Amino acid sequence: MRKNLFLTTIAAVAIVALTTTSVMAEETDKIVVGVSTDTATTVFRQVELMGLYDMAETNGDMEIIELNADSDTTTQATQFKSLIDQGVDVIVCCAIDQDAILSSYDYALSKGVPIINYDRKVEHEGVAFTAMYDSYSDAKQLAEYLLSVDDGEEHTIFLTVGSLADPNGIARREGFEETIANSGHDNLKVTEIMTDWDVDKALTNMQNALQVETPWAVANVSAHMDGSCYQALEEAGLKIKRGEEGHVYYTSLSGEPPAVAYMEEGYTDKIFVIPADTAGEQIYNAAKALANGEELESDVFYMPTFGVAPDELEEKADEIWTIKYADLLG
């Protein structure tokens, strides 16, 4: 896939979308797919859609209109309706808020436009397909890793918590905390670091928490918060390499560039990679089938998360999207 396709700016996308009308659907034999995304500020979100754009370009059978809501639910509702009114055949959505989006999904259903969720699950009768990850199971893996290195002493784990308006934020919190609580490791205490998926909030809350207590470990289940977490640890004199005295165990979910970089530099103990690049092709196939009135073999695709230890980085480099697409990510 060409770099310019992947790194299309939001401004350019918006211009294309705003100058495109429902006539577009009438004048082309191509399937027209509307994409309503929550944000384009994370590379993970961009990588999730790479396969969709790649397949559309390769096969030449699909037009894509993408609008970014910039994390605003009102903007997303307006853009979602605009995409439906432009005559898209299928709409793909990463909802900011699972409840706020429901009226938009009602509108799509009333117009007979099938909905594909990606990244986040939304329960609605109009949803035909969802490409996501199992957030509960993913967070459970981080908890199980820390349980495996627990020495039995009294310890505090800092757990980053995403937006609780997002089912992923809720499931990751529950997956981690329930695993620790049910483990019998009564020596472990979990302190929540609220992030709402915001790097500045994550930094501030980490800084505040570090003034109260020193963690034995940090479990970042909030994806792109690694930079904030490590900045706060460094400011507190706790950014210490693996194997050195005072090292704070650090495990992270997603496989974002900072997490991989900190592992390469000797700090991160284990990352759990969500293969974001597996979602796009699944979305493309589902959108094409739905537009053609075909039955789907399955209504959900889970991106298969896997763990990576420091000594496995080189071996698994071709599977880690951060490394695999380093040139595209810039």
- The C-alpha atoms of residue 193 and residue 128 are separated, in whole angstroms, by 35
pTM of structure? 0.84
The answer to whether residues 117 and 204 belong to one domain is no
- The 10s digit of each residue's pLDDT in 264-284 is 999 999 999 999 999 999 999
State how far Cα 197 lies from the chain centre. 10
Is 317 a member of any domain? no
In angstroms, what is the C-alpha Rg of the chain? 21
Is 113 a member of any domain? yes
The answer to whether residues 191 and 288 belong to one domain is no
Paired residues of 23 in beta bridges: none
The total number of structural domains that make up the chain: 2
What domain range includes position 262?
135-273
- The C-alpha atoms of residue 92 and residue 86 are separated, in whole angstroms, by 14
Helix/strand/coil for 308: strand
The reported pLDDT for the residue numbered 148 is 98
Is 310 a member of any domain? no
The answer to whether residues 264 and 140 belong to one domain is yes
- The 10s digit of each residue's pLDDT in 127-175 is 999 999 999 999 999 999 999 999 999 999 999 999 998 889 999 999 9
What does residue 202 show for φ and ψ, rounded to 5 degrees?
Answer: -60, -45
- The amino acid that residue 116 corresponds to is I
The answer to whether residues 112 and 15 belong to one domain is yes
Is 325 a member of any domain? no
The answer to whether residues 118 and 279 touch, using CB atoms and an 8 Å cutoff, is yes
| Mean pLDDT (whole number) for 284-302 | 97
Q: Where are the alpha helices (H) located in the chain, listed in sequence order?
A: 3-6, 10-18, 23-27, 43-59, 73-85, 102-110, 135-149, 167-181, 199-210, 226-235, 257-264, 279-291, 321-324, 326-329
The answer to whether residues 145 and 269 belong to one domain is yes
The reported pLDDT for the residue numbered 327 is 78
The answer to whether residues 24 and 121 belong to one domain is yes
The answer to whether residues 196 and 295 belong to one domain is no
Structure tokens that stand for 202 in this block = 């994550």
Residues of the chain above pLDDT 90, percent = 84
Is residue 299 over pLDDT 70? yes
The answer to whether residues 148 and 204 belong to one domain is yes
Mean pLDDT value across the chain: 91
- The 10s digit of each residue's pLDDT in 176-190 is 999 999 999 999 999
Cβ neighbors of 217 (< 8 A, separation 6 or more) are 146, 155, 157, 158, 248, 249, 250, 251
The answer to whether residues 201 and 281 belong to one domain is no
- Residue appearing with tokens 């989006």: 101
- The C-alpha atoms of residue 107 and residue 300 are separated, in whole angstroms, by 22
Q: DSSP character for 312?
A: G
- Nearest Cα residue to 146 out of 245, 213, 218: 218
The reported pLDDT for the residue numbered 211 is 98
The answer to whether residues 14 and 40 belong to one domain is yes
